Structure 1
Amino acid sequence: MAKKLKTADDFMHHLYIHMNDVDHFVIFSGVSLKQFLPSVESVKNVLLLKHAYEDGSFNMHTQFDFVSSEDMQDFLKTEQDLKKDLCWVDFMTEKNVDALTPLEQAELLYFSHKREPLATPFMGKLQNRYAYYSSIADKMTKVYFRFMGDSELLVANLFNQMIKEKESVGSFWRRKNKGNLPMIDPSTLRLYRSFVKEGALLSLYKLDKPSGHYGIEVRTLSDYDFPDEVWDDLDEILKISYDELIQIS
């Protein structure tokens, strides 16, 4: 009997990734801000360059709103309901923001308008690790990473959290042994950079056998220039054999 093809709903999650390691950015589709922030290295505060959030603090020097670490949870709860484009960079302290020159402020505005930096998205005064832009209409998030390894850390933590949540729903015995959860390491994902540099779909699901194992099907999508088109064609894409299978145990 022929093996039944999986449909989109048979997977736990689909994540589109297109990496440009030369310019230090990655385009994602399938990750929200609420998933992003807990999955990367600690973000202290965010300077809002384009947003619709009304409860942020105000920096007099730059006239940008910002969100402090104390208000981050409220920001995450509210932002997902705003359905507007969002652009921000992280920073260490407000003193760093107060030190920005007019030219540096102009460069930040340029990034929020063009989705790309005039020079570099990383400013020594801010000590920022990320420069983030998400577009609702385009169904994508573009992130500049100071350290490209943070992109694999993001994906690993995102998938590991999903596995943890799935494993926590079940028997008492499963919950009791949650310390032995299947997990993927960022270094494993780094082995597949050649795929995501072409543009790839990573699809997470639970394997039927062996029990307690998960898999990530990797499909190269080099013909897709716009992430929103991936979701329009998702069912057809999944009919194509995957290029690689990453097993998580």
Structure 2
Amino acid sequence: MKTKDVIYMIYNEKEQSLTSMGIEFIDFINSLTNELNNVLLLASGYTGEDFHYGLRLEYLRKEHLSDLYKENVHHYGDFCWMDFDNVASLDNLEPQEKAELLYLGHYKEALSSPFFEKLNNKYVYLAHDDGWFNKVFYKDKNDFIDVLRRLISNRLKSYKKNVAPLSHDVGEQLALLAKDGILVDLYRVIKSRNSLEIPFSVIGKIMDFDDVYNNMERHKAKANLEYWLMYKNNEWMIMSYR
């Protein structure tokens, strides 16, 4: 079993973040409803055409982002970035703001807010061994719900070509359950002629992902309640069974 066969995620509503295992950079990019503008690389192994000497950081303009999307970012180790609107805004950052950006990239947490008025960023993406540990901050909760809706359906297209995104209501239900840590068993998908069923369990907030991955069956057994994401007649619903 590979890490892409499962998704474990913890949603922190207060700080508008999703911490996950099994979700990769390209999964996130393919689930966005709006394209990114520019990207500031806070920590990575990428070397491109643009470097900001005031920040000592690489960045990518919108027209070059497709190059980054082709990269195997998992091999970078640390892969941390944020979007931003205007390249000129990088020149206007104060020393404190620069320090907060470097803190984000190094410690993978925000010193104060992960969102910067001058940069107008919508996301902060912080990963170590991309797909193993990822933490994404969302400025707008609706953007998070939209990514979650499309993420699940995109990952199921190997089973069924045309899978509609989760409805907004089902996306919100899933986010609510993810506040307590959910483990989605993609390797146990049940496919029939007219439907797909994906089991998942609420196993609690566990930040030791080695423990989650190596002891999945034990954690699921302790959950006592199994949920199912069910897709039938182009509609999604969440069911639960004891």
- Please indicate, yes or no, whether the TM-score normalized by the shorter chain is above 0.5: yes
How far did 1:100 drift?
Answer: 1.4
Mapped contact 2:74–2:129 kept (Cα < 8 A): no
1:215 partnered with 2:197: yes
Q: Distance in 2 between matches of 1:129 and 1:158?
A: 18
Change beyond 3 A, Cα 1:136–1:104:
same
CA drift at 1:137: 8.9
Specify which structure has the higher proportion of strand: 2
> Relative to 1, partners in 2 of residues 1:48 and 1:137: Cα closer, same or farther, differing over 3 Å?
closer
Please give the per-residue CA displacement for 1:153-174, whole angstroms capped at 9, x wherever unaligned: 2222122223334334xxxxxx
Residue matched to 1:244: 227
Structure 2 unmatched runs, 5+: 233-242
Tell whether 2:21 aligns with 1:21.
no
Residue in 1 aligned with 2:239? none
Q: Quick one: which of 142, 149, 156 aligns to 1:149? A: 142
TM-score computed with the length of structure 1 as normaliser = 0.81
Identity over aligned pairs, percent: 22
Amino acid at match of 2:210: D
One-letter amino acid matched to 1:151: F
TM-score of the aligned structures, taking structure 2 as reference length = 0.83
**In the alignment, structure 1 residue 233 sits paired with structure 2 residue 225:** no
Q: Highest CA radius of gyration, 1 or 2?
A: 1
- Give, in whole Å, the separation in 1 of the partners of 2:130 and 2:7: 17
Q: Distance in 1 between matches of 2:40 and 2:118?
A: 13
Q: How many residues align?
A: 229
The correspondence of residues 19-168 of structure 1 with structure 2, limited to 5 A, is 19-40=11-32, 41-80=34-73, 82-136=75-129, 139-168=132-161
Matches of 1:200 and 1:215, distance apart in 2? 16
Structure 1: which amino acid aligns with 2:203? Answer: L
CA deviations 1:12-67 (Å, max 9, x no partner) are 84211101111221101101111111212421111011111122511233222102
Contact kept, 8 Å, 1:138 with 1:227, in 2: the verdict is no
Gaps of 5+ in 1: 1-7, 169-177
By how many angstroms is 1:222 displaced? 1.1
Q: How large is the Cα RMSD of the aligned pairs?
A: 2.6
Q: Following the alignment from structure 1 to structure 2, what is the Cα–Cα distance between the partners of residues 138 and 160?
A: 18
